[in-house]
Structure 1
Amino acid sequence: MGFRSRIHKFATKSPSRAFQTLANRELWKALARRSEFGLATAGAAVGVAAGLAVTAMSYAAGELHQLIFGIGGTDRLSSAQIEDRLVLLAAPVGGGILLGVLLFTLAKKRKRQLVDPIEANALHGGRLSLTDSILVAVQNIISNGFGASVGLEAGYTQLSAGIASKLGITLRLRRADLRVLVGCGAAGAIAAAFNAPLTGAFYAFELIIGAYTIVSLTPVVVSALVATQVARFFAGNEFIIDVGDFGSVVPADYLPALLLGTGCAGVAILLMQGVAFVEEIARKSSIAPAFRPALGGIVVGLLAMISPQVLSGGHGALHLNLDNVVPVPTLIGLFLLKSVASAISIGSGFRGGLFFASLFMGALLGKLFAYTAPYFNDATLTPVIYAVVGMSSLAVAVIGGPLTMTFLALEITGDFPITALVLAAVITSSFVVRSTFGYSFATWRFHLRGESIRSAHDVGWIRNLTVEKLMRTDVRTMPVSATVEEFRQAFPIGSAQRVVLVDDNGKYAGMVLVPEVYGGLVEKAESSRTIVDYARYLNDVLQPQMNAKQAAALFDKTESEALAVVNDLIERRVVGQLSESHTLRRYSEELDRRRREISGEL
């Protein structure tokens, strides 16, 4: 039964029967799969789940802060006055031990790599394990709750996207729609976490979905708005960033803002490389992964004894430093302590992200840069505006998403002139990072794992379009020791275009073009001619696991119209044959299909 007929049948039923039909999963599946309204409804449901997930995780981490560090119910950990130095040292170590036990248990029971929303949308068509997402969220709560220098935003987006993926799989959504719904989960999470629906929506477009389309606009924005309202209902103003009073912006302010954006880009690159450096040291050491968080906790605890502002994501510390005049040595010291603590926390195995930490460190850089204001003629930027510019510029360099960070500045200040200034700075910062480094924090970590992902653009279908799926298995073969006469008898002209040669052990030994054999292109005495004299592409072969893009590159390199497919490069047993024309045709068909999915034509 078609979608329209289902709706008509539903509308003409009696109220009692109509209510029963509301529980019919098949109707909801049809609604979500075949109409934008259905996808928007699913986005709203995901927004509710995201708002609840963010509120619950924040509440759990806050309760741990109160229980472990003894702070008040309205205090933020990074801005609280904690007199007990032993607690500051012991808490991150205890969290590291607990996390290590969890990691050890998971290593025994779960062998697969945890997938985050960016990787899921780039490679797996939006498919995320909800169980894995819950595990990531729990690890994030433990890490943040015991004071590790990480934010909860990674857990927010992971859990919300996992719920969205589970819902989409249950509704049997198409690949493109499932990717959009995962984006709805991430949008709701970030929107709720910062009380900023536009920020959440463009976080999804730029970082999770990888593109903005009219089809994806409604469900993503709906999810962000709903999640914001849900979080605001349960948590009030807990997630609001208050920057206080700030001055006005004049044209002369753009030059220092651009310079600050450039400086933040350089600092972000150092920070990302610092995390990778710590991880590399940990990998090269003989320390088991389960023990690394505890050792990292020792370092974080020692740094917290110097300043508790390095603990957790830094919400309280951000407001503390925005509201007060801070001397230059203190700003420099806090920035160094926070950057080292964040790098050690993530590099040693604590679970979390650098979203809010980068905002905090960017604000410190901005206020530090504010002391250079007298050197810029006619510039009127106040320290608070410098802080907002620094927040956005460092965050965009680490996280990515220029429009995401621009809208964050707009939503926390409500000022359009400042937003335009931030836009100029974040574009500069993003350009410098892309030109010199090429990665954001998430894609840099993919690169370290050997993945070539640069964004959430859907490249998974390319990997799924493998040589094994494209090749023909009815391969014509001939022993490499055969004479030309034997070959001609076995393959009369017109019977085949290509024949694969194999040796006595069945290994690939080259490919022969039948017309060449009958053309007599090899100048040798007839009695001494063997078919191997006509062999081509002796070492140029495809393997089943190659994708269409890799196969096309090899065709282009060898200037061949077809190549043999072998099982591996050691045994070299022939399993098939693939032509360039068929590969390019199938690749073009799939590419067009993805384009039509994104544009809503399918």
Structure 2
Amino acid sequence: MRSVRLSQNRIARLLDRRQPSPWLVLGGAALLVGLLSGAGVWLFETLIHWSAHLFGLFGEWLAPLGVGSLALVTAAGGLVVGLIYHFLIGAERYQGVAGIIESVALGGGQLRYWRVPAKTLAAALSIGSGASVGPEDPSVQIGANLGSMFGQWFRLSDERVRVLVAAGAAAGVAAAFNAPIAGVFFALEVILGEIAGAALGAVLLAAVVSAAFTQAVSGPQPAFSVPVYPYHSALELPFYLGLGVLAGPIAALYAHLLQQMHDLFHAWNAPRWFKPAVAGLLVGSASIYLPQIRGVGYDTVEAILNQAPLPLMLLVALGLAKLIFTPVSIGGGFLGGVFAPALFIGAALGGAYGIWIDGFMTRVNLEPASFAMVGMAAVLAGAIHAPLTAILLLFEMTNDYRIILPLMFAVTVSLLLSQRIQRDSVYMLSLARKGVRIERGRDVEVLEGITVAEVMETRFKSVTENTTLTEVAGLLLQLRSHGLPVVDHAGALAGVITLQDIEHGQNQAAGRALTAGDVCTRDLLVAYPDESLGAALRRMSTRDIGRLPVVARQDP
């Protein structure tokens, strides 16, 4: 730790002497984060390979014990992971992707980056020993912690540290799935909670650099090689509607089981290092009968997408087993992600649904495997509540854009149903259970204790109903604002006029001189001084607006 602090001080002194542009520092840091994230994820995947080889040798040594040796291998992996967590990692304030989201929203992106090597090793051993977890959470951890590290070393503001953390998360996803576009949207939708223009440049740069490194060392090929599944006509959409209706509740159940298993293991009065071994024994025992659920499961997913002759009931069993034993693995203490298992669940159950549909709709030219592809994105979107990330991730992992309409349709239906059943995503649910509810990158539970009257702007410019549109446009330009309140002759709020109102009015003017009163919006969404900021923010989020006029409740 002392050497780290010395390095921080040297970098800070160098920046103080040189005084480079803040944007140059942020861009340089984003480039470093992207490059090192790509290298870190590549090293992580190498560790997974060697870990799987090591546990494979261990399984061969245990082979004389019979089929039960498979369960002992995963249990042994759990024991090693538990000991690493106990001795090298310890208790953490911010855990997993949910912890990164919480840190960005509440902690200025300040992560304990020095713990990443131990966590990366534990995650590689988790996957290599057969736990039902994915590689994306550790990959995001690598990138996000690198972003936090450089932000702290360069002594950047909290806002820029948050940007670098998001950039690192994008780089991690880009490297893990060879999907830079999905990485960018993951950072914006999940980590930051909104598409912020100031952050976009750094996030894009880090994702591109990370993906370029990954393609240089591993090749440009997509994660899955699949045949062409054409979309024939709109007559197919009702079948994909059914898939979305199936995927939404499954995604909600997946999020619920993840939290329930976490609570179950947490309530068990046993040493923390021992719990992953028990979880490993359970997962390993199930994998004796369904070995496909071990590890990431991409080989099985690719087989389903390539129409391997897997029976319908086997696909159902695989999907349900993954749905159950991924929460057991993560709740028990294995380190890993929920992305890859969600893709596996969607592929298995979507493939089963496609076989079932094809069995009684013989006159319709349907490809059962295309339902598996769409099911992957539908379950993922319903689980993480990030539809653009799910859609783009599937496109980049399969390199197939032909089935976009059914894909978007099923994802939308799944997302709406999942949110209706389970308000919070797999990440936000654990935060909500701690009393932290984040919307658009802000903790709205904290804002419940602050009233609008405490923070509202009381000194502001306004225009009257008789002000001409030319005068309003000039004032907006002078104030660098997009809108102004409009008051009547008595000084009461009459409406709000925006640049869009002015443009629309000028298009409809037909030579007439219009005033602010002619074009302003009068049907207003307002806030009240005595209500909480959280309530006002939720109202703004519903309509996706950036400001609200504040009026007294007794005003008509």
**Could you say whether these structures have the same fold, taking a TM-score greater than 0.5 normalized by the shorter chain as the test?**
yes
Q: Distance in 1 between matches of 2:209 and 2:92?
A: 36
**C-alpha offsets along residues 228-250 of structure 1, whole Å, 9 cap, x if unaligned?**
11112222368622223323342
Correspondence 1:408-423 to 2 at 5 A? 408-423=393-408
Unaligned stretches of 5+ residues in structure 1: 1-20, 72-81, 464-546, 557-579, 589-597
- Correspondence 1:266 to 2:165: no
2: CA distance, partners of 1:354 / 1:203: 14
8 Å contact from structure 1 (residues 201, 221) kept in 2: yes
Which letter does structure 2 place at the counterpart of 1:251?
A
- Structure 1 counterpart of 2:238, one-letter code: L
The reply to whether residue 53 of structure 1 matches residue 43 of structure 2 is no
- Match among 352, 357, 360 for residue 368 of structure 1: 352
- Could you say if the C-alpha distance between residues 378 and 431 of structure 1 is closer, same or farther in structure 2, counting changes exceeding 3 Å? farther
Task: Give, in angstroms, the shift of residue 146 of structure 1.
Answer: 1.4
Q: Is residue 125–residue 458 contact of structure 1 (8 Å, CA) maintained in 2?
A: no
Residue aligning to 1:396: 381
Name which of 313, 318, 321 aligns with 2:296: 313
Is contact 2:252-2:419 (8 Å) kept? no
Deviation by residue 1:24-56 (Cα, 9 ceiling, x = unmatched): 43377743x2x3x54333222211011011101
Q: What is the one-letter code of the residue matched to 2:409?
A: A
Distance 1:29 1:320, change over 3 A: farther
Separation in structure 1 between the aligned mates of residue 17 and residue 398 of structure 2, nearest angstrom: 44
CA distance in 2, matches of 1:174, 1:41: 15
For 2:324 and 2:454, locate their aligned partners in 1 and report how far apart those are by CA, in whole Å: 48
Question: How do 1:289-328 and structure 2 match up within 5 A?
Answer: 289-323=272-306, 324-328=308-312
Partner residue, 2:79 = 97
Aligned mates of 1:256, 1:548 — CA distance in 2: 43
Query: 2: distance between equivalents of 1:364 and 1:432?
Result: 20
Between 1:305-314 and 1:155-164, the stretch displaced more is 305-314
Structure 1 residue 142: deviation in Å?
2.1
Report deviation, 1:65: 0.5
Paired residue for 1:192?
175
Taking the aligned partners of 2:532 and 2:86, their CA distance within structure 1 comes to: 46
Provide the rounded CA distance (Å) in 2 between the counterparts of 1:383 and 1:332: 14
Distance in 1, Cα, partners of 2:440 & 2:45: 27
| Structure-2 separation of matches of 1:195 and 1:266 | 29
Larger radius of gyration: 1
Alpha-carbon distance between aligned partners in 1 of 2:192 and 2:67, rounded to the nearest angstrom: 45
CA distance 1:165–1:249, shift in 2 (3 Å): farther
Partner letter of residue 165 of structure 1? S
Write the distance in 2 (CA, Å) between the matches of 1:359 and 1:584: 39
The answer to whether the 8 Å contact 1:184/1:224 transfers is yes
Within the alignment, does 1:125 sit opposite 2:108 as a pair?
Answer: yes
CA contact (8 A) 1:250 1:380 kept: no
**Equivalents in 1 of 2:212, 2:43: separation in Å?**
15
After superposition, the Cα gap between the structure-2 partners of 1:66 and 1:87, relative to the gap in structure 1 and judged at 3 Å, is farther
Q: What pairs with 1:221-232 in structure 2 (closer than 5 Å)? A: 221-232=204-215
* Residue in 2 that maps onto 1:215: 198
Q: Secondary structure at the match of 1:550?
A: coil
Please give the alpha-carbon distance, in whole angstroms, between the structure 2 residues aligned to 1:216 and 1:555: 29
Runs of 4+ in 1 over 6 A off after TM superposition: 553-556, 580-585
After superposition, residues 421-570 of structure 1 pair within 5 angstroms as 421-448=406-433, 450-455=434-439, 457-459=441-443, 549-552=448-451
Give me the whole-angstrom Cα distance separating, in 2, the residues matched to 1:63 and 1:83.
24
Q: Aligned-pair distance for 1:548?
A: 6.2
Change (3 A) 1:548 1:333: closer
Amino acid at match of 2:389: T
Please report how far the alpha carbon of residue 106 of structure 1 lies from its aligned counterpart in structure 2 after TM superposition: 5.0
1:373/1:379 contact within 8 Å kept: no
Q: Deviations over 1:510-562 (max 9, x none)?
A: xxxxxxxxxxxxxxxxxxxxxxxxxxxxxxxxxxxxx6641438999xxxxxx
Question: Quick one: distance in 2 between partners of 1:554 and 1:213?
Answer: 27
1:338–1:361: 8 Å Cα contact kept in structure 2? Answer: yes
Cα distance between partner residues in 1 of 2:18 and 2:437? 34
Hey, what's the Cα distance between the residues in 2 that align with 1:123 and 1:436?
Answer: 27
Determine whether 1:137 maps to 2:112. Answer: no
2:500 equivalent in structure 1: none
Is the 8 Å Cα contact of residues 29 and 172 (structure 1) preserved in structure 2?
no
Structure 1 residue 278 corresponds to structure 2 residue 261:
yes
Kept in 2, the 8 Å contact 1:410–1:418? The answer is no
The superposition leaves residues 109-168 of structure 1 with CA deviations (integer Å, 9 ceiling, x where unpaired) of 656554632111121122211023334323212211211111121111011100111101
Instruction: Kindly indicate whether the alpha-carbon contact (under 8 Å) linking 1:247 and 1:381 is maintained by their aligned counterparts in 2.
Output: no
Q: How does 1:561-600 map to 2 (within 5 A)?
A: none
Given the alignment, which residue of 63, 80, 101 partners 2:50? 63
CA distance in 1 between counterparts of 2:345 and 2:65 reads: 24
Q: Unaligned stretches of 5+ in structure 2? A: 1-10, 59-63, 456-527, 537-545, 547-556
How has the CA–CA distance of structure 1 residues 100 and 428 changed in structure 2, closer, same or farther, with 3 Å as cutoff? same
145, 167, 170: which one aligns with 1:162 = 145
Q: Which moved more, 1:244-253 or 1:364-373?
A: 244-253
Whole-angstrom CA distance in 1 between matches of 2:65 and 2:398: 34
CA distance in 2, matches of 1:406, 1:337: 25
Q: 1:139 to 1:553 in 2, by over 3 A?
A: farther
Instruction: Indicate the residue corresponding to 2:70 in structure 1.
Output: 88
Report SS of the residue matched to 2:235: helix
Q: Structure 1's 93 and 456: CA in aligned 2 closer, same or farther, altered over 3 A?
A: farther
1:92-123 superposed Cα distances (whole Å, 9 cap, x missing partner): 1111111222233258x656554632111121
TM-score computed with the length of structure 1 as normaliser: 0.68
1:582 Cα offset (Å) = 13
Render the CA deviation track for 1:363-401: whole Å, top value 9, x for unaligned. Answer: 011111112434569754412221111000001111221
Q: Secondary structure at the match of 1:68?
A: helix
User: Aligned equivalents of 2:396 and 2:106: distance in 1?
Assistant: 32
CA distance in 2 between counterparts of 1:434 and 1:583 reads 26
- Contact (CA 8 Å) 1:103, 1:290: kept in 2 or not? yes
Given that residues 548 and 583 in structure 1 are in contact (C-alpha distance below 8 angstroms), is that contact kept between their aligned partners in structure 2? no
Q: Which residue does the alignment assign to 1:26?
A: 16
Partner residue in 2 for 1:202: 185
Deviates more, 1:131-140 or 1:309-318: 131-140
Q: CA deviation at 1:177?
A: 2.1
Asked if structure 1 preserves the Cα contact closer than 8 Å seen for 2:258 and 2:426, the reply is: no
Question: Residue 353 of structure 1: SS of its match in structure 2?
Answer: coil
The answer for the alignment partner of 2:325 in structure 1 is 341
**Structure-1 residue corresponding to 2:503:** none
Deviation of residue 287 (structure 1)?
2.4
Paired with 1:454 and 1:555, the residues of 2 have a C-alpha distance of: 21
Q: Secondary structure at the match of 1:244?
A: coil
